[in-house]
Structure 1
C-alpha cells in the first residue's frame, strides 16, 4: 500500500468523528497502547513510546558482517505506507513508531547496533536493498517465491488479512460467496486486491453477483466510508484492522485468512539483499527476542498476539509465483 505522510491529520479527522476513541472492551486493547493514567484519552501516538529494549548478545552479534559491525549502525528501510500499527509517524510528524519499528529495534539491540530508519515509499524499499543502501527492511514484507530470487528472508510475523465491518453487522466472511453483491473497499495494487478481484470473478462464474470494489486514497477515507455506510467492509492487513478495532470500538473483524489465500500461510519477514551475509544474524536475533519475551511484549503492545511465530525461518516457502 502506498503511504501519505500527513497521517496525524487523518487520525485527527478520525478522532473528531468519533472513529478513534478509547475502548476497553477488546482483547487486543492493552494499557500499553495508552499513556499511563490516561486510559480514557485515546491511543498514545506521541513520540515518547517507552520502547522495549534488550541487551546485546555477543555470539549473535558476531554473525554480522565485519563491515557492518565496524560501522556500528544498522541502516533499515521502513515504509510508512501502511496504517497503524505497522509503521507510521507520531504526532510530532517526524518520529517513526509502530510494531515494525519496535521489532527492528529489538533486533538491532541484540546485534549491538544502532538502528537508523529510512522512511521511503514501498517501491523504494527494494531499490534501497538492490543498491546496498539498506542493510535490511522491516516493513510488512511478505515472503514470495519471486522475491526469493533477489532477497533473503527471516520471518517474524504471520501474514493475515482481515475484513472489517461496522460492529453488529451480523455478517461473516469465510468464502467468495459471502462477499457476492457486497461493496468492499481495498487498497489498489495490493495482494488483497488481487484476492478480492479473484473472488469476484469466481462469484460471477458461479452465477452470483460480483463484488463492487471501491478504492480510496487515504487511511481516513476507508473508515469514513465504512461508518457512513457507503461500503459494507474494508479488506486490508489484519494488523491494521486489529488496531482500529481496538482503538475505535465501532468496528469488528468479520473474517480473517492468510495473505497467501487458501494455498499457503503467508509470512512477514525481515528482508535483506540476497547473500548479504545478514539473514542468519537477523534470524538468530529474532529467535533470541522470542525466547526472552521482548518479542511477545511488543506484539501484545500493538494487539498482534495472533500473528506471533515461535521461531524465525530463513527463506521458507513463499507465496506462489504469479502466473502470466
Structure 2
C-alpha cells in the first residue's frame, strides 16, 4: 500500500493542484504533518479543509416528531443505510488520505439527516450504476450521491432536494471584468469542457446560437483530466473551463489561483437542476428525509456543511418533494 504521504499527493492530483498547492502530508505528529489544506480563495481564506479520515463531522440533535415519520422497520434496525459513489472528484464524495474512508459534502449532509432521524448512518460505497440497483432491491434506504432529479428517474424514485445542480465557468484569477451570464459572453472565447457531458451540450448550443445571431463561434477544447485543463488555464491557452460547480468552487477555494465568473443550471434554460436524497418510489421514507433536510436547513448546520466545502452558492432554502426534474431526452 502507498505511504500516507503518497496518498495525500494522490488526493491533490485529483483536485488538479499538483503544481499550485502545497500540502502538509500526514505522518508522525512530531514532524508537524497534518491532513489539512488551507483555503486560499473565494472568500474562504483561513478555512482549513480536512482531507483525513477523521472528519469531525458537524452534527445536530434528533427531532422526535421527524424521527416518528421513519418506517417502523428502519427505526427498529436503528441504522440508515446510505448509498453513495466515490467516483466523483472532491468535494462531493471521495476517498480520504487513508484510501478507505469516503468523505465530502454528500456524506456530511447524509450524516446530518441521520442525526435528525435518530439513526446511525451506515455508508455503502458502490459504483454509480449500483446506487440504483441497490435502491431498487431495497438493500439501501437512501442515495446521497450527487443525484440529479430527472423526470425519467421520478418514474421509479422519490426525491427530497438539498442542493442546486449548477455548472460553473472557471477562469484564471485576476482575468479582468469578464463574466458569463449567457451565450453572448462566450462568443469568440476559447472554453474547455469534458466530452459527452451536459456542459458540452450547453456550450455547443450557445456557440451555435451565437453564430446564428452573427457573433463569433466559441472555440471548444476537450479535456478529460483536471491537471490538463488547469495547466491550460494557467498558461492562458484557455479563457475558461466549464464544469460542475462543486469541483470548480472547491478548487478555487483551495488554491486561490482561479475564480468562478458565472454559473448556470445543469438543466440549461428549461429547468433548474436539483440534487436530492433518493429513495425507491413509495417506500415510505422520503417524507422523513425531506423534513429532516428542512430541519438542518433551518437550524444552520446545513449551511455550515456547505461552507466547509466551499459550496454555499448551491444552497437551497427548503427541501422539495419530487420537484420538476430535468426533461426526458427526446427519442
TM-score, normalised to structure 2, is 0.85
SS of equivalent residue, structure 1 residue 163: strand
Matched residue SS, 2:50: coil
Deviation at 1:255, TM superposition (A): 1.1
Q: What are structure 2's unaligned runs of at least 5 residues?
A: 1-6, 23-36
Describe the shift of the 1:8–1:219 C-alpha distance in structure 2 as closer, same or farther (beyond 3 A).
farther
Q: Partner residue of 2:79?
A: 73
1:136-175 map, 5 Å: 136-170=142-176, 171-175=178-182
Give the deviation of 1:128 after TM superposition. 2.3
Residues in 2 aligned to 1:281 and 1:88: alpha-carbon distance in whole angstroms:
26
Q: Write the mapping of 1:182-261 to structure 2, written as runs, cut at 5 A.
A: 182-261=189-268
Shift of 1:312: 0.9
TM-score (norm 1): 0.86
Match of 2:125 in 1: 119
Within the alignment, does 1:18 sit opposite 2:23 as a pair? no
What CA deviation, in whole Å up to 9, does each residue of 1:120-160 have, x standing for no partner?
Answer: 33333222222322211112222122221111110111222
Q: Structure 2 vs 1, CA of residues 189 and 68 (structure 1 numbering), >3 Å: closer, same or farther? A: farther
Equivalent in 126, 137, 140 of residue 131 of structure 1: 137
Rounded Cα–Cα distance in structure 2 between residues aligned with 1:142 and 1:10: 25
Pair member with larger Rg: 2
Inter-partner Cα distance in structure 2 for 1:111 and 1:185: 43
Q: 2:307 aligns with which of 297, 300, 305?
A: 300
* CA–CA separation in structure 2 for the residues paired with 1:150 and 1:30: 44
Distance in 1 of aligned mates of 2:8 and 2:215: 38
State the Cα RMSD in Å. Answer: 2.3
SS in 2 for 1:235: strand
- Aligned residue-pair number: 309
The match for 2:95 among 72, 89, 106 is 89
Worse-superposed segment, 221-230 or 255-264 = 221-230
- For the residue of structure 2 that corresponds to 1:106, the secondary structure is helix
Q: Residue in 1 aligned with 2:62?
A: 56
Q: Distance in 2 between matches of 1:114 and 1:69?
A: 10
Per the alignment, residue 316 of structure 1 pairs with 323
SS where residue 165 of structure 2 aligns? strand
**Partner of residue 45, structure 1:** 51
